[in-house]
Chain A
C-alpha cells in the first residue's frame, strides 16, 4: 500500500493541481459514476489532506471527502458546467468540515470526544515540535482564517478560487489572509 510518494521528494510537495477536468487533459467520461470515480482517483488524496488541515484528524477528513463525492454524484446531472466539478468538491469539503466542527462543538457539551488532531502531542503523528506549534497556532485562529490559509498555502489557490470555494468576495479573502498571518506572527513571535 505504501508507495514512494512524490510529495516526499526533496524540495517539498508538488502543487496539487486540477486533474482530469481542470485542464481538460483527459476527456470526461459520460457516465456520472465513471466521472466521479475518475475525479476521486485524481483528487481524493489532496482533498482528504485539505480536510485534515481543517479538522485535524484523518477519519473525519475521509468521511467529509466521501460525502463530498457522493454529493457530487447526486448533483452531477444538475451541474451545468462539469469543469466546475473540482470547485464544487472543494466547496463541499469546506462546508462538510464546517458541519463536523459544529457537531464537535455540540458533542463537547455532551463529553463525547473525537480523535485528537494530528498536531497534538497525544496524536504524536508529527514529530517536530516547531511544526506542531505552528499548526496549533493556526488551529486557534477563527474558522474562516483557517480555511483561507489552508486553501492558499496548501492548495495554492488564487484569491478568486478561494473566494469561490468559500462563497465570499476576493477582498474578504485578501483581508482575512492578511489578518490571519498577522495573528500568527504575533502569537509565534515572528516577523511578517
Chain B
C-alpha cells in the first residue's frame, strides 16, 4: 500500500527532476576517443615513484587552485558564487561570452548568414542557459514582422553547445537591450516589442508587453497606450516563475520635447487576459526604470538616471531595490558625473549579484562593470586594473549572467 508520504515524495521528486527539461542535456562529444587498454602490471619501482609523484602533483595543483580561488571575486563568506560567465549581445555581430573573474573572452556565438542578433540576451535560472533574440533580414521589409529566439547552454569552460532555435516567436521587433526576459525554467519569455512593424505603412508606435510560453506557444500581450514616441516602453523583467512581469513606461503625457523624460515602473500578473496594459498593471514606482525583479517577484531593482534615453549632459545614476509588498526602498549605489547616464543592469539567477554597466569617465563609448553584492552591500569593480573594459555604446548591448 502506498502511503501519502510516498505520494508526496514522488511528487517532490517529479518537480525537482523536471527542472531538467528534455533537450537541455548537452550532447556527448561526437568522438569519444580510443578506449583505454586494460591496465598492465607496473614494474615494482613505479609503484613507489608514482604515488610520490602523484602526491607532489596534487600538492602543486592545490596551491595553484588556492591562488586562482583568491583571484576570483567570489562572495565574502558562503552563499552562492558569482556567475562564472556573462554574455554580451551587441545589436550586430556575434554574442560574446566573458569570464567574470578575468574579463577574458571565453567564446563567441555567431549566427548563420542572413540572421542577425538584435542585442537582447537573458539568462535562465541555471545561469548557464541563455536566450537571445535575432531577426531574419527579409527583403522588402523595413523591419521584421517577428523576432526569433535562440537558446544556448554554456559548458563549464564557457563554450556554448550548438544553439537551438526556439519554435515560439515574439511578435514585432525588440528595440532596447532590456526588452527581453526569461523565467528561471526557460519556459516563459517576457518582452516589450513594437508590434505592428511589419510594413512601412504600419510603422506606428503600437507597443506591447507580453509573454510567450516556449513549450506550448501560448502567448499573452498587453497593449500600451498609443503615443507618438517609439520606444516608450522597455526594460522588462520577469519573476523566476514567470508569474509577474515588470516594465518601464513613459507616461502618455510625456512628450518628446519634455526633457528629461520620466518613466514609471508597472507590474502585472502574467495570468491576466489580453488587453490594455493600463487596465491590468499597476504603477509601483515613479521616476525610475526597472532593471530586474527578485526571483520571488517581491522586489524590484530600480534605476534612476535622469538623462537616460536622451543624449544629455553628465548626470547621476542611482540604483535602489524596492519591496513590492511594503513599498520601502533600499539604496544600492549611486554614480555621479556619468558622461551619459543610463540604466543597465542584470541580476544573477541566485538574486544576490547585480551586474551594473557604467560608462567610463570621459568616454561615451567605453564602459566597465560594477558588481553589487545585494547581501553585503559591497560594490566591486570588475577587473579594476588591466582587464577588459566593456563597451558602452549608445544603442542596444544586452548583458546577462
Contacts and interface: CB of A to CB of B under 8 A. Distances in A.
Contact of B350 (A122, A149, A191): A122
A162 interface: no
A4 B215 contact: yes
A99 interface: no
B156 interface: yes
A188 B126 contact: no
Contact of B214 (A2, A122, A191): A2
Contact of A153 (B10, B18, B80, B165): B10
Contacts of A76: 35
B96 to A, nearest CB: 21
A2 B166 contact: yes
Contact of B156 (A40, A44, A59, A122): A59
Interface in B125-180: 125-128, 151, 156, 164-166
A116 B3 contact: no
Contacts of A135: 12-13, 15-16
B121 to A, nearest CB: 15
Nearest to A1: B164
B77 to A, nearest CB: 7
B13 A150 contact: yes
Contact of A62 (B26, B151, B164): B26
Contacts of A153: 6, 9-10, 13
Nearest to A65: B25
Determine chain B's interface SS by DSSP, over half rule. loop
A116 B79 CA distance: 8
B38 A78 contact: yes
Contacts, number: 185
Nearest to B185: A125
Contact of A1 (B27, B151, B349, B350): B151
Contacts of B23: 1-3
Interface in B31-48: 31-33, 35-36, 38
B225 interface: no
B6 A1 contact: no
28 contacts: A2-B151, A3-B23, A5-B21, A12-B11, A36-B32, A45-B22, A53-B13, A58-B19, A58-B126, A62-B26, A73-B32, A112-B69, A113-B75, A121-B296, A123-B184, A123-B349, A124-B240, A124-B241, A124-B349, A125-B240, A126-B19, A128-B15, A130-B12, A153-B13, A154-B17, A181-B3, A191-B3, A191-B4
